[in-house]
Amino acid sequence: MFRLALTLALAASLTSRLARADDEPMYTCRAAPASTKITVEFQPETSLHDLAAWVMGFTCKNIVFSADVAKHATRVTIIAPLPMTPKQALQLFVDSVEATGLVVVQKPDTIIIKLGPNMPASCPDPAPVASRAPVAVRDVPPPEPEPQITDAELDAGIQVADATHRVLKPALLDRVLLNPMELAKGARFVPAVKDGKPIGFKLYAIRPGSVFARLGFANGDTLQRINGLEVTSAEKALDVYTKVREAKLVTIELERRGKPVTLTIEIK
């Protein structure tokens, strides 16, 4: 069963990074009232990109990284044990970023993150490498791509037990795992944020007849938990599969149009 959780985790991780400008918005935000209390638990070594997505979720401010920031410190560990007001949470973001040596410039609608005064503008040139004898290189043909999964295979591999219960055959699951990029084209997973806190992944652009559609997912669903484990980031999604190896069923907890829905997927 852990392989199905891995499949969903891969889809969440891959599709959350495959956004295009003409797709649905990558992020959603809602400016939090000043009296709001924000509680958040950060993963160790949180990336600045994820941290920026968090602060954007409750401030609705644009976040701009200067071109050289990616070459320097891009991760930070934060421990935030107490609820915070939006103002305190924003200050925590500023303090955390500046602890890496970067500088945060706040404007009315935009936050700019750029190199600090003591940080080099570019990475040093690599040391020269001693010349070596030439190495013979053979042309190796690329591997043949896996053939696309046909509608007939999907019809045979996924059985509908009821509105929220599907039976997935192992042979089809194996085919899906061989080509996760093809799976990722069946839907888009966009990080969902509520009150400044990540709550899972919202599904958009589910293709009719795709694996996701046949498993019972619907556009607008927010994937929140797999077998009771939170899926609030791509990193957490990829961790899920290690914790459900002994499961007999995979339960997927969603929010659909404001109401909870649980999909049950059985492999046999």
**Domain of 86, in residue numbers:** 46-114
Q: Tell me, yes or no, whether 157 and 262 share the same domain.
A: yes
Q: Does pTM top 0.85 for this prediction?
A: no
Give residue 106's identity as a one-letter amino acid code: Q
Cα–Cα distance, 104 to 64 (Å, whole number) = 10
Type of residue numbered 130:
A
Considering 99, 114, 129, which residue would you say is the last residue of a domain?
Answer: 114
Asked if residue 9 has pLDDT above 90, the reply is no
Unique residue bearing structure tokens 């200050």 = 91
| pLDDT tier, 83 (very low <50, low <70, confident <90, very high otherwise) | confident
Q: In this predicted model, what pLDDT tens digit does every residue of 10-33 receive, in sequence order?
A: 555 545 444 443 444 445 677 778
Q: Is residue 126 part of a domain?
A: no
**Residue listed under structure tokens 């103002």:** 87
Answer whether residue 262 shows pLDDT above 90: yes
Instruction: Find all residues with CB under 8 Å of 123, minimum gap 6, and list them.
Output: 71
Long-range (24+ apart) CB contacts under 8 A made by 116-124 are: 119/72, 121/68, 122/68, 122/71, 123/71
Highest mean pLDDT among 136-140, 177-181, 258-262: 258-262
Report the share of the chain in percent with pLDDT over 70.
71
**Tell me, what's the pLDDT at 46?**
84
pLDDT at 111: 92
Q: So what's the pLDDT on residue 244?
A: 63
Number of domains the chain contains: 2
CATH of the domain at 87: 3.55.50.30
**Cα–Cα distance, 227 to 169 (Å, whole number):** 19
Do 69 and 161 lie in one domain? The reply is no
Per the model's pLDDT, the better-predicted residue between 188 and 256 turns out to be 256
> Do 16 and 67 belong to one domain?
no
**Whether residue 80 is found in the same domain as residue 156:** no
Average pLDDT taken over every residue of the chain: 77
Do 69 and 170 lie in a common domain? no
**Do 230 and 186 fall within a single domain?**
yes
* Phi, psi of 172, rounded to the nearest 5 degrees: -70, -40
**Residues 77, 14: one domain?**
no
Q: Which two tokens stand for residue 13?
A: 């991780």
C-alpha 150: how far from chain center: 27
- What pLDDT score was predicted for residue 121? 59
Looking at the fold, whether 50 and 16 belong to one and the same domain comes out as no
Are 156 and 263 in a shared domain? yes
Number of alpha carbons in the 13 Å side-chain half-sphere of residue 241: 17
Do residue 10 and residue 82 come from a single domain? no
249 and 179 co-located in one domain: yes
| Domain assignment of residue 127, yes or no | no
Identify the domain boundary among 63, 97, 114: 114
Q: Is residue 87 part of a domain?
A: yes
52 and 15: one domain?
A: no
